[in-house]
Structure 1
Amino acid sequence: MFLLLSAAIAPGLALFSYFYLRNQMATEPRKTLLQTFIFGALITFPLMFIQYVLREEGAFSNPYLGDVLVASGLEEFFKWLVIFLLIFRHVEFDDPYDGILYGASVSLGFATVENVLYLLSFGIDTAFIRALLPVSSHALFGVVMGYYFGKSKFQKNDKEIEYLLLSILIPFVLHLIYNSILTFKGYWVILIAPFMLYLWWTALRKVKLAHQHLVQHLYEQKHN
């Protein structure tokens, strides 16, 4: 059991540590990040319940609608809601890169609990592929989401609402593409590899841009 739990939790911690350590300009309070991670973990259970009810009630005659479209939308919306309601106006969300950390934190909280439940059901044999795909993809969706939250809060160009919309729309579209690829049985592996490379490239580019915004933000603070 210890080995299984370690295998389930380790990918999320490793990915979060990676994005946390990339922030060399400032240190975000660990307590707030931990709280965000916990909230991300807690939303797993209402999400699972809603999806179970929809499935049992036969709310969608087309499996694609329920398993891909609705699942992608619900997961990204709940993660977005946690950041918007609990973090976006928080005093400790005080620089553009913080969005990256909070987005990754809430997403990895959700992904970690989901991963634990999955490995408990299907065994440790799936741990490696789970780390490569579901856990890392959730982290990267969260990075993109957090990037646009940071833009919304700190970009001084009257586009707060536009960036807020992008903070949920773009992760949803990426998640939708990811889930859609997994429905192509037989050759999904051929499609998922380039998509994951693109997802990593996109997320790392957002991280780089967030660093640039952070440097500019600190410069403006220093000279104002």
Structure 2
Amino acid sequence: MIALVTAALAPGIALLSYFYLRNEYESRTFTQVLRAFIIGALLVFPIMVLQYALEAESIFEAEWLHAFVGVAGLEEFFKWFLLYFAIYRFVLFQSRYDGIIYGVALSLGFASAENVMYLMALGIDSAIGRAFLPVSSHALFGVVMGYYMGCAKKSDPNNFKLWISLSLVVPIILHGVYDLILLTIHENVMFIIVPFMFFLWWFALSRTKKANEKMA
């Protein structure tokens, strides 16, 4: 059991450490980041119950609806909601990168708790595959969400609505495409999902670079 929990949490902790250490400026306390991680972890349980209820009622039968609304829409909306109302409105952002740290922490809290539950059901043999796909993808969606929220906090107030909208819409689109690939492509899926993951990493890392640039 200890080995399973360790295997489930290790990818999330490693990714959070990576993005935390990429920050080039003095930033937030560890306690605040841990708080965001715990908030994300607690979010798993109501989301999974809601998704189970929707699947049981066959609300989203079409695969694209299931991908973009039943999974991506629900998960990214609630992560966005908590990031905005529990963190953004009450925590001082010293730079745009702070948004990325909090977004990644919350998303990885969600992904890590979800990973524990999946490994308990599927076994530790699936740990490597889940580390490279679901856990890392959640981290990258969190980077994107946090970047745009950081822009909303530190950029021209006149563009607030644009940045806040992008912080929700872009992660939903990316997450929806990711899930749609896994739902609809059953043969040679790795030839599609691996290039998409490279794109996600490139897109997310380009946001981290921009976030670390001093604003004019």
Same-fold call, TM > 0.5?
yes
Cα separation, 1, equivalents of 2:82 and 2:206: 24
1:94 Cα offset (Å): 3.1
Equivalences for 1:175-194 in 2 at 5 Å? 175-183=175-183, 184-194=185-195
Shift of 1:87: 1.0
1:39-82 per-position Cα deviation (integer Å, ceiling 9, x unaligned) = 10011000000011111122233344235532110000010001
Cα distance in 1 for residues equivalent to 2:29 and 2:174: 29
Q: Aligned partners of 2:156 and 2:6: how far apart in 1?
A: 43
Moved more, 62-71 or 75-84: 62-71
User: What TM-score results when the alignment is normalised by the length of structure 1?
Assistant: 0.92
- The one-letter code matched in structure 2 to 1:94 is Q
Q: Deviations over 1:79-135 (max 9, x none)?
A: 000111011122333321100000000100000000000000000110001000000
Shift of the 128–179 alpha-carbon distance from structure 1 to 2, 3 Å rule, reads same
- What SS is found at the alignment partner of 1:5? helix
Deviation of 1:157 (Å): 5.5
Q: What amino acid is the match of 2:215?
A: Q
- Indicate the residue corresponding to 1:196 in structure 2: 197
Say if 1:29 and 1:92, in contact at 8 Å, map to a contact too.
no
**Are 2:16 and 2:108, in contact at CA under 8 Å, matched by a contact in 1?**
yes
Deviations 1:136-164 (A, max 9, x none): 00000000000000111111261000110
1:216 Cα shift? 3.0
Larger radius of gyration: 1
Identical amino acids, percent of aligned pairs:
47
Aligned Cα RMSD in Å? 1.3
Aligned to 1:101: 101
**Separation in 2, partners of 1:206, 1:198:** 12
Structure 2 letter corresponding to 1:179: D
Q: Distance in 1 between matches of 2:155 and 2:202?
A: 23
1:158 and 1:92 mapped to 2: Cα distance?
19
2-structure distance, mates of 1:156, 1:60:
39
Segments of structure 2 that go 5 or more residues without pairing to the other structure are: none
1:10 aligns with 2:47: no
1:206 matched residue in structure 2: 207
**Secondary structure of the corresponding residue to residue 158 of structure 2:** coil
Q: Aligned to 1:216, what secondary structure does the other structure show?
A: coil
Residues 27/122 of structure 1: CA separation in 2 closer, same or farther (3 Å cut):
same
Unpaired stretches in structure 1, ≥5 consecutive residues: 218-224
Partner residue in 2 for 1:141: 141
Determine the C-alpha separation between the residues in 2 that align with 1:62 and 1:79: 24
Contact 1:36 1:105 in 2 (8 A): yes
1:3 Cα shift?
0.9
1:61 — aligned with what? 61
Q: For residues 97 and 44 of structure 1, what CA distance do their matches in structure 2 show?
A: 25
Q: Is the 8 A contact 2:63 2:180 kept in 1?
A: no
Say which SS state the counterpart of residue 32 (structure 2) adopts: helix
Q: TM-score, normalised by structure 2?
A: 0.95
CA 1:3/1:53 → structure 2, altered by over 3 Å: closer, same or farther? same
Greater shift in the superposed pair: 81-90 or 66-75: 66-75
In structure 2, relative to structure 1, the CA distance for the partners of 1:67 and 1:91 (3 Å cut) is closer
Q: Which residue matches 1:152?
A: 152
Provide the aligned length of Structure 1 versus Structure 2: 215
